[in-house]
Structure 1
Amino acid sequence: MSMFKLKTLSGCVLVALLVSACNSGDSSSPAASGGSNVAPNGVIETVTGTGASCADASTLGCFTSPFEEPMVYRRDAANDANPDAQGVPSADKCLYDPVTERLRCKPAAGTISLLPNGDFLYFNALEGTEDFETGILTDFGTKAINDQTRVMRIPQGSNAATAWTRPRDVGSGANPNGYPITELIPGLTNKNTNGADGALFCADVAMLGDGRIMAVGGTAYYNEPGIDALPVGLIELEGLKTSRAYNPNNNSWAQLADMNFGRWYPSVVTLADNRLFVASGVTKLLKPVYPQAPEQSGRNVVVTETFTPPALGSTDKGVWKANGPAAQRTLPLYPRLHLLPNGHVYYNAGGQSFNPFGQSIDQPLWNIAATYNPGTDSWSDLAYAGLPFSFSDAGLESFTKLFNYTAPSEIAKSLQGLLSPNVLMKSPAALQAAATKLNASNPTAVVQKVLGSGMRGSTFSIMMPLRPDADGKYRDASFLTAGGVLALVAAGSPGSYVAVSSSRIDTVKTQPAATAKEGKVVDYNSEITGSLNEPRWYGTGVLLPDDSVMVFSGADRDGVVAPGVEMARRTAERFDPVTKTWTRMATANKPRTYHNTALLMPDGRVLVGGHAPISTLYFKNVNLAALGLGPNDGRDPSFEIYSPPYMSSAGRPVLASLGGGESVADVPGFSQIPLFRPGQTMSVNMASMGGGTLDSITLVRHTVMTHLIDADQRTVVIPAQAVNVGDGSLNFRIPDQMAILPDGAYMVFVRVKDAQGKLLPSASRSFMLRKS
């Protein structure tokens, strides 16, 4: 079947030049834009690049040559906060540090965010693996280092970065006095972790309404069992309660309030009222046994929490609140969550299966798509993901609560509902309707739908563009997933090992209301689309401003189950939303498997980076690339930029500026970015409409992503009929419907259709949106 297509090769010929230089005083650097608040260790580096060309740029797009930070920093203290750190120019990705007797390496972009001013904040993953003597299971508890952060600047139109800045508290400064870990047997734990009690690794990230980047959770490393002062034992990774925020104005991290539960691999999504909702994660990864709370053992964190951020300019740390028993839900790690137009949170039956084997005593329930209502603090089941059977049609909205033994009151409610006359009457009809929708006359389609259903491991989840109905309301949201590993319906999660190429779109139909509490979900359906050309595990999806979706990087099999023996996927693919098929595009220069990243740049290109794999088969770093496998000799700190085909079109419109906004007075570093309010009129001043007719304007939220996901990712379409065309300007009203545009930074793209009907987007301009 098409979902199991074998790997084939496709690509383009790259001709590129890269010229690099280093100095320490570029006034256009990210740090310099913060004025007198530049961190004392914010050493600035520069590298410049020339243009790149591609033989098939107009059809396949093109990748630039790779570029990377030119410095390696040594003489860092154990907590990586030494202001006297020395930057050494080096083409190598790591150098030996004679002071710490450790390798010091350039960080890879395992997590990355587009800041409001257009710079990029990224941080490392698995810092310290280069120093392994035996392997991750025995060494990492004592050799781990807090992950480094960087700010990188790429001017519009440039093919390489021009500056890197090290933020104050390069490792984010969390837990300088140690982390109160959860011991299984007191006294049998080696807590000497070289200061790696506040690692950013496996934190999730989101943008606060004032433009700060918030990181939630993370990792404390230690050996358990183990003994202090002895470098022996078995690694444990514990999820942190910590939350912290990076402030671009002073180039520094600050600690916010702690969560009620430690979380490793949680997911965070911004709610309509700008509070943050967190779900899942695990407190102890390898040994999830909790003597002090045995009922929580053997599974991920089921309690959800909601964060109320501090007021703008306040020194408060905000408040985390554990939600009630009806808000509990078993979910995979990094569950794929999204904010729906009615203000509810949608779980798209995807996530990471790694504990380390994905084990959780209730993991079959991960196959069920669901929504969370923040107005009632409760979950409702939608459907077995990918199948046409709707739980609501059978009156089974609370089915999964029957198995949540930590909330007895919810079990009773669920059981009462299951035995109600309503369910008994509706269920036969619902099952019959599902059988009809499966279309038994087409056995191939049935098999594809069944095998492709359920929880998908290591897949991206892209919210397709939100479009208004005829009455101007945004109601329905569709989500594209592709690749990953199948859950295998009969076995439940964590699923299979070999990547698949199957692709589907799930659509949730909503009924918005004045508040999330009153909003409703009225329908769910799922559609199988054309398959990827190559099975792909851990591919990063990016929604482009022409409505197509690109997927980058990844591997042919799960690089966590048996790391180092996977083959990298370097050829990007494009999803056409009209034909619903995937096409091979240009081939990247670098193989990027685990912890790769990709995000939309303001000029319409895509920044691709990352690659921080687990050491080969959990032992030492070994590069098996000569055998055609992914390189596992440590992280790759490089980036490359992909130009989609529309970048080579002469007919693109040219956006000059945005008019009608306010100055962002309380964010001085972003004074050049206008501030708008929902419902306000925005004027888009055009230098040229290009070679086509106006199709629409889109508002695209700045990407803030880790582990393939950006729960706040969204593109809101303003159709041409809602735009007033003036003399050189396009004027429209910013939607004020609840949950469509949470506070934060957005890009404005103007789109025209050429004579062939292709969408051609402009480069964008950014603005801050704030309700009050």
Structure 2
Amino acid sequence: MFKLNKLSAVIAIGLGTALPVQAGLLDDLIGAKFNPVSTNKGVAPEGQKGSFSKPFAEPFVYERSVADDNNPDLQGIRTDNKCEGIGANGKLRCKPAAGTISMLPNGDFLYFNALEGTEDFEFSILVDFGQKAINDQTRMMRIPEGANAASLWTRPTDVDSGANPDGYEITELIPGLTNKETNSADGALFCADVAMLADGRIMAVGGTAYYSEPGSNLIGYGLTELEGLKNSRAYNANTNTWSQLADMNFGRWYPALITLPDSKMFVASGVTKLLKPIYPQAPEQSGRNVPQTETYDPVTNKWTVNAQTAQRSLPLYPRLHLLPNGHVYYNAGGQAFNPFGQSYDQPLWNIAATYNPANQTWSDLAYAGFPLKFSDAGLESLTQILNPLTAPNAAMSALTKTLMSAPMKSPQALQKLLSTVTTGNPEQTLQKVVGAGMRGSTFSIMMPLRPNAQGQYKEASFLTAGGVLPLVGLTSPGGYVAVASSRIDTVKTEGDNIVDYQSEVTGSLNETRWYGSGVLMPDDSVMVFSGGDRDGVAAPGVEFPRKTAERFDPVTKKWTQMAVANNPRTYHNTALLMQDGRVLIGGHAPISTLYLKNINLAAFGFSPNDGRDPSFEIYSPPYVNNPNRPNLIGFAGGNATPAGDGKTMMREFRKGQQVTLQMAPGTDMSKIDSVTLVRHTVTTHLTDADQRTVVIPKTQLSVTGQSLRFTIPDQAAVVPQGAYMTFVRTKQADGSLLPSKAVSFMLKHGNGQGVMTANARR
């Protein structure tokens, strides 16, 4: 009864105030005939859209078996096809698609597959996959500079990361009714989260163990179950190998991993069993995602479960970011299995919040998209109070006290909320409401961090756009049809305090977009790539792909359509910024059509669901071909030390250290506007919790001849340890920024954390 009472209180928050809706306005937001567009209609002129390269892919297909996986000399079959029949039984073996991708410290790329084994279905993913799934392959890819240089691929050891070679202890609902696990499907990287450790290794936590429940090995079929793993692994670019790290305390599928200022790793959310989250041995955990959070210490290789006050109900892959004051910000976004969702307490996901690692507590900020701060109404601890793992008597007492006192604390705050929502303009009102609350299946981009007049970084803004129509206050935080609405949320900090939270509706996308990958560009614009017109998980294979990229102008706050990609990429697509300022586009690993077999309905305009797409494309924005682009040579005094293999070693710098850059002879140094430090991308499922661009403004630059000096910020939460690209930007006559190519370096804090000196090409 206590749980139901608490849930009712939460739902009441979502139902809130009745808001005016004008006929016809919904067409602007969700459109008609499930092929909707917004009213923005912004299209870049020809010649200013940028361009996509021809798709390219790994040239070989390899056999998959336990013995073969660890054989670096395994001979592949050269083919232009994405799959080939291999072996005596002619089973299909396919090239991996980049459902997850990282830019390594040296500028190479590590990526791994998603949903490996779907090519072997006989009937349906629902009854086959527990037996047919395979641990996902990984690849290291190098894209050399030069128009005619061919990309190179290598297979890491272990090619599937090597987790659980002796099996995984699954969480059985009814013992004896599951099929036996095999060591080819109990340590999959699929649906792990990834981040870069301070030493440059790529850490992956969680993932998937596949089995059937109920199921039988005798018939080879059953009801597929996906269980979140406790595993942690790390990839070392120096040796091209995976190694096993300590296990987490909770199995997590779709978790979120983020680097803290002290270089420890914080993990939140995930679910232990996706389809049947029922745990007889721990009933209080049932019916929801994992509320417990954990912290990993890379020095001791140990995971620690955080205090009860660190628990929080969050969506899968919650959109987390590190604020300049060292707190973790939840931007009210994530993945939800729509249109019904999967957690009984999911209305809480609509609340933006911050986590303080020092005292391990969460504070509720606001119902995302609305200006009312919960602290103004005495509700900053509401979510903690509503946690069903809290002692019932204490929680009920706290809830009663909060609800009784909140209306008296700040009646002006409620008036502020009502006056903001009911603007008198029905279209703006509807945009505000549709754009509020949790945003499912969209990106969350931290906009460039800029210092104040005192040189301190205290404010962060976050852009989201697209996703699915929210159903706030109802049983699900996300619907089926995609939206075009776009929003910027801004958080201002002062020490440990959040002094302000603001939300602003921007111009909408030109097309509604589900599962679009966002990339912050070195000219401060944001690009979005790929995705579909509706949720490709609710009804896979019947979504229309979104191939036209869009660009967000941070000055006008409007979206403009850019170039059109070659290949459609809907579910499990990826995109990341390269060192030369271009964008690498990859991925596309859809669920089998309507959860049956891979049926390709592309002839009818739908997304192709004939398996995964292993190809990549490179998007070149207009500035790539600008002849006035600044030419950054590197770090002054030589940015590298020769290595024995003819490659070079990266430079390392510390926070607070002065750095000198060397520009090419003839550079007009007076036009230099700023330097930016851009953290290397490590992304999966539209998320990169460590993503950041730190601006060093012109007022903090010192010029001598062709040399440019600046000081790396000394705030650990602004520049967490890891690999960064350095761009130099000049200001053009029209006010736009023109970025150079980047040089990368490893950033240290000088706190004893080692740095992996990975081979670098720039």
> Which amino acid is the alignment partner of residue 395 of structure 2?
I
> Which amino acid is the alignment partner of residue 179 of structure 2?
N
| SS of residue matched to 2:611 | coil
Moved more, 383-392 or 151-160: 151-160
The alpha carbon displacement at 1:434 in A equals 1.2
Matched, 1:415 2:399: yes
Native 8 Å contact 2:269 2:293 kept in 1: yes
Native 8 Å contact 2:338 2:476 kept in 1: no
Q: State the distance in 1 between where 2:52 and 2:177 align.
A: 51
Native 8 Å contact 1:143 1:194 kept in 2: no
Native 8 Å contact 1:661 1:676 kept in 2: no
The residue that corresponds to 1:429 in the other structure is 412
> Which amino acid is the alignment partner of residue 479 of structure 1?
F
The alpha carbon displacement at 1:226 in A equals 1.4
The residue that corresponds to 1:14 in the other structure is none
| SS of residue matched to 2:432 | helix
The residue that corresponds to 2:759 in the other structure is none
> Which amino acid is the alignment partner of residue 147 of structure 1?
D
Describe the superposition over 1:636-693 as per-residue Cα deviations: whole angstroms up to 9, x where unpaired.
Answer: 0000000011112111100001137997999999952100000100001001536971
> Which amino acid is the alignment partner of residue 56 of structure 2?
F
The residue that corresponds to 2:196 in the other structure is 207
Native 8 Å contact 1:112 1:705 kept in 2: yes
Q: State the distance in 1 between where 2:739 and 2:103 align.
A: 19
The equivalent position to 1:288 in structure 2, one of 268, 277, 281, is 277
> Which amino acid is the alignment partner of residue 755 of structure 1?
A
> Which amino acid is the alignment partner of residue 330 of structure 1?
S
The equivalent position to 2:592 in structure 1, one of 600, 608, 615, is 615
The equivalent position to 1:364 in structure 2, one of 320, 332, 347, is 347
Matched, 1:180 2:169: yes
| SS of residue matched to 2:418 | helix
Q: State the distance in 2 between where 1:529 and 1:4 align.
A: 17
The alpha carbon displacement at 1:271 in A equals 0.6
Describe the superposition over 1:46-90 as per-residue Cα deviations: whole angstroms up to 9, x where unpaired.
Answer: xxxxxxxxx977410000100000001126337833455321100
Matched, 1:219 2:208: yes
Matched, 1:64 2:53: yes
Structure 1 residues 414 and 113: alpha-carbon distance in aligned structure 2, compared to 1, 3 A threshold: farther
Describe the superposition over 1:213-234 as per-residue Cα deviations: whole angstroms up to 9, x where unpaired.
Answer: 0001000000001123430211
Matched, 1:337 2:330: no
Native 8 Å contact 1:67 1:160 kept in 2: no
The equivalent position to 1:533 in structure 2, one of 490, 510, 525, is 510
The residue that corresponds to 1:736 in the other structure is 714
Q: State the distance in 1 between where 2:627 and 2:433 align.
A: 45
The residue that corresponds to 1:273 in the other structure is 262
Structure 1 residues 301 and 251: alpha-carbon distance in aligned structure 2, compared to 1, 3 A threshold: same
The residue that corresponds to 1:586 in the other structure is 563
The residue that corresponds to 1:233 in the other structure is 222
Q: State the distance in 2 between where 1:690 and 1:153 align.
A: 33
The alpha carbon displacement at 1:185 in A equals 0.8
Native 8 Å contact 1:345 1:372 kept in 2: yes
| SS of residue matched to 1:623 | coil
Q: State the distance in 1 between where 2:146 and 2:73 align.
A: 34
The alpha carbon displacement at 1:404 in A equals 0.8
Q: State the distance in 1 between where 2:159 and 2:105 align.
A: 20
Matched, 1:509 2:492: yes
Contiguous gaps of at least 5 residues in structure 2: 1-24, 39-43, 751-762
The equivalent position to 1:307 in structure 2, one of 283, 296, 301, is 296
| SS of residue matched to 1:361 | coil
The equivalent position to 2:542 in structure 1, one of 538, 542, 565, is 565
The residue that corresponds to 1:453 in the other structure is 436
| SS of residue matched to 2:188 | coil
Describe the superposition over 1:229-269 as per-residue Cα deviations: whole angstroms up to 9, x where unpaired.
Answer: 43021100000000000000110000000000000000001
Structure 1 residues 112 and 398: alpha-carbon distance in aligned structure 2, compared to 1, 3 A threshold: same
The equivalent position to 1:695 in structure 2, one of 673, 677, 693, is 673
Q: State the distance in 1 between where 2:125 and 2:425 align.
A: 48
| SS of residue matched to 2:649 | coil
> Which amino acid is the alignment partner of residue 745 of structure 2?
F
Matched, 1:245 2:245: no
Structure 1 residues 719 and 58: alpha-carbon distance in aligned structure 2, compared to 1, 3 A threshold: farther
Matched, 1:155 2:138: no
> Which amino acid is the alignment partner of residue 105 of structure 2?
P
The residue that corresponds to 2:612 in the other structure is 635
Structure 1 residues 143 and 175: alpha-carbon distance in aligned structure 2, compared to 1, 3 A threshold: same
| SS of residue matched to 1:330 | coil
Structure 1 residues 645 and 84: alpha-carbon distance in aligned structure 2, compared to 1, 3 A threshold: closer
Native 8 Å contact 2:333 2:439 kept in 1: yes
Moved more, 71-80 or 177-186: 71-80
Alignment of 1:363-382 (within 5 A): 363-382=346-365
Q: State the distance in 2 between where 1:608 and 1:555 align.
A: 15
The equivalent position to 1:140 in structure 2, one of 129, 134, 141, is 129
> Which amino acid is the alignment partner of residue 738 of structure 2?
L
> Which amino acid is the alignment partner of residue 672 of structure 2?
L
The residue that corresponds to 1:3 in the other structure is 29
Matched, 1:477 2:463: no
The alpha carbon displacement at 1:440 in A equals 2.6
Matched, 1:717 2:695: yes
Structure 1 residues 150 and 356: alpha-carbon distance in aligned structure 2, compared to 1, 3 A threshold: farther
Matched, 1:196 2:179: no
Matched, 1:128 2:112: no
Moved more, 191-200 or 473-482: 191-200
Q: State the distance in 1 between where 2:671 and 2:403 align.
A: 58
The alpha carbon displacement at 1:152 in A equals 0.5
Describe the superposition over 1:88-135 as per-residue Cα deviations: whole angstroms up to 9, x where unpaired.
Answer: 100111111224653110000000000000000000000000000001
The alpha carbon displacement at 1:416 in A equals 6.5
The alpha carbon displacement at 1:706 in A equals 0.2
Q: How many residues align?
A: 714
Structure 1 residues 663 and 59: alpha-carbon distance in aligned structure 2, compared to 1, 3 A threshold: closer
Calculate percent identity across the aligned residue pairs.
67
> Which amino acid is the alignment partner of residue 130 of structure 2?
G
Matched, 1:468 2:451: yes
Matched, 1:400 2:383: yes
Q: State the distance in 2 between where 1:268 and 1:79 align.
A: 31
Q: State the distance in 1 between where 2:668 and 2:599 align.
A: 51
The alpha carbon displacement at 1:411 in A equals 2.4
Please report the TM-score for the alignment, with normalisation by the length of structure 1: 0.89
Q: State the distance in 2 between where 1:750 and 1:494 align.
A: 41
The equivalent position to 2:658 in structure 1, one of 660, 678, 681, is 681
Q: State the distance in 1 between where 2:643 and 2:249 align.
A: 30
Native 8 Å contact 1:209 1:743 kept in 2: yes
Q: State the distance in 2 between where 1:537 and 1:497 align.
A: 9
| SS of residue matched to 1:401 | helix
Q: State the distance in 2 between where 1:551 and 1:159 align.
A: 28
Describe the superposition over 1:548-575 as per-residue Cα deviations: whole angstroms up to 9, x where unpaired.
Answer: 0000000000000000000000000000
| SS of residue matched to 1:289 | coil
> Which amino acid is the alignment partner of residue 703 of structure 1?
T
Structure 1 residues 676 and 731: alpha-carbon distance in aligned structure 2, compared to 1, 3 A threshold: same
Matched, 1:298 2:287: yes
Moved more, 66-75 or 466-475: 66-75
Q: State the distance in 1 between where 2:547 and 2:339 align.
A: 26
Structure 1 residues 322 and 453: alpha-carbon distance in aligned structure 2, compared to 1, 3 A threshold: same
The residue that corresponds to 1:759 in the other structure is 737
Q: State the distance in 1 between where 2:258 and 2:150 align.
A: 30
The alpha carbon displacement at 1:400 in A equals 1.2
Please report the TM-score for the alignment, with normalisation by the length of structure 2: 0.90
Structure 1 residues 116 and 379: alpha-carbon distance in aligned structure 2, compared to 1, 3 A threshold: same
The alpha carbon displacement at 1:403 in A equals 1.8
The residue that corresponds to 1:553 in the other structure is 530
Native 8 Å contact 1:478 1:508 kept in 2: yes
> Which amino acid is the alignment partner of residue 173 of structure 1?
G
The residue that corresponds to 2:21 in the other structure is none
> Which amino acid is the alignment partner of residue 739 of structure 2?
P
Native 8 Å contact 1:366 1:455 kept in 2: yes
| SS of residue matched to 1:295 | helix
